Structure 1
Amino acid sequence: MPQPFFVGLFSQFVHDELGQQKICYMDPIASPPTRNDVIQETMVRSMKVDLETNQDYAIVSYDLAVALKAYSIQSLEAPLFDCLLIMLGNFHLELSFYGAMGTYINESGAEYLLTESGILAEGSLNGFIRGKYYNRCTRFHDILAITMERKLYNSFLSGLPQEKQEAICHKRLQRDGEFLETSQVFKENMEQYENFFTGVMQGVLGPTAQY
């Protein structure tokens, strides 16, 4: 965030055509945010702001637990809140995604790779699996995904004939200026790996549903 001194200095060189903004805050509600009456009150206040600012729609963001109830209220009270756009915060969406990923890898052995290697502390394992630790999930899911991808590729590579393995290794070590993306050997290798990857995923997840 810029420091006040920087803003003052920068304002001498830039002419802002927009008028001074006025930031307003709603009065806090001293009640649990998951209560139905509290949620409906926030929706009513958001609609009032919509009318005061002459906007066609009002936008409000909730976390997942509150948004589910807000969607229900919007449906039951239609068309009262039809102009209210209820959105989920990106932060909560990411945590929900990490929780789903944690459920998928739980008791698969992958989580113990992280603890045994010292990347993830054992005391943080349950929070990581449930998607409660944003910073840990952001870093460690990337590490786990890259590690599993490398192991899968090595498994694919070990199943190739010896001459193809040598050709790939030779192409990696070449310094003749040719990019891997333009190499015919590399292209064929990647196409074969994509087929291998698809076969493995279908074996793990089952066939894709037909629509």
Structure 2
Amino acid sequence: MKKNCVWLLTRMSDTEAQTVSSWTGCNIQVRDEVTVVQDSVGYLPTINAPAPQMSTVNEVLNQSINIMQSLELNTIVCVLDQALYAKATEVIWKHQQKFKNVIIRMGVFHTICCLISTIGKRFQDAGLRDLCVEAGIIADGSVAGVMEGRKYNRAVRLHELLYEAFMWLA
């Protein structure tokens, strides 16, 4: 929070000849000395079946258990997209004892899209839709996709600009 306030104050110091980069660029510059530890990510072998089928999702969970046992782990985390996450949840609910050590997570991209969609649905009728279009941040034809969480890059840009504007007002 302190770094965000410092960034905002430096952005406000000279609004005509802006020399401080946007929020993302500033965070990249500030955190360039932070050591990044590489994760070890493994991918399952290819399953030659349609992904949305319950049998395919069940096979993914079974292979995850096999990997967990071969690596002698207590639990294993399976990261899935939104559609497969919903199906995996159903499978785990039906077979709770078998998959009790499998932790399923929805991927970060889909989690952010859900959050953007929630914000859009909640505040679009409160003027967020009109604010986007009238400020020239988002074109009239794209605003529906942004509010529904389908236009990811535009939505992230919108929320960065809104954050800066609201912090400026605060």
Give the TM-score band, short-chain normalised.
0.5 to 0.7
Seen in structure 2, the aligned counterparts of structure 1 residues 23 and 150 have a Cα distance that, compared at 3 Å, is closer
The one-letter code sitting in structure 2 at the alignment partner of 1:62 is L
State the alpha-carbon separation in 1 of the partners of residues 50 and 151 from structure 2.
Answer: 23
1:92 pairs with 2:110: yes
Q: CA deviation at 1:118?
A: 1.6
State the alpha-carbon separation in 1 of the partners of residues 44 and 162 from structure 2.
Answer: 43
Superposed CA offset, 1:49-83 (max 9, x none): 11111111121111222212212211211211111
What is the count of residue pairs matched by the alignment? 131
2:9 corresponds to which residue?
Answer: none
2:91 corresponds to which residue?
Answer: 73
Alignment of 1:184-199 (within 5 A): none
Seen in structure 2, the aligned counterparts of structure 1 residues 122 and 48 have a Cα distance that, compared at 3 Å, is same
State the alpha-carbon separation in 1 of the partners of residues 85 and 163 from structure 2.
Answer: 31
1:28 corresponds to which residue?
Answer: 46
1:109 pairs with 2:127: yes
Alignment of 1:169-188 (within 5 A): none
Seen in structure 2, the aligned counterparts of structure 1 residues 25 and 150 have a Cα distance that, compared at 3 Å, is closer
> Tell me, what secondary structure is at the counterpart of 2:103?
strand
- TM-score by length of structure 2 reads 0.67
Seen in structure 2, the aligned counterparts of structure 1 residues 63 and 55 have a Cα distance that, compared at 3 Å, is same
In structure 1, the gaps of 5 or more residues are: 1-21, 154-211
State the alpha-carbon separation in 1 of the partners of residues 78 and 106 from structure 2.
Answer: 9
2:57 corresponds to which residue?
Answer: 39
Bigger radius of gyration: 1
Higher relative contact order (CA 8 A, sep 6+): 2
Q: CA RMSD in A?
A: 2.2
Identity of aligned residues (%): 24
Superposed CA offset, 1:169-211 (max 9, x none): xxxxxxxxxxxxxxxxxxxxxxxxxxxxxxxxxxxxxxxxxxx
The one-letter code sitting in structure 2 at the alignment partner of 1:115 is V
1:118 pairs with 2:116: no
The one-letter code sitting in structure 2 at the alignment partner of 1:123 is G
1:163 corresponds to which residue?
Answer: none
Seen in structure 2, the aligned counterparts of structure 1 residues 24 and 61 have a Cα distance that, compared at 3 Å, is closer
State the alpha-carbon separation in 2 of the partners of residues 92 and 124 from structure 1.
Answer: 19
State the alpha-carbon separation in 2 of the partners of residues 123 and 99 from structure 1.
Answer: 17
Superposed CA offset, 1:106-158 (max 9, x none): 2332212221222112221111010112221112023234435656x5xxxxx
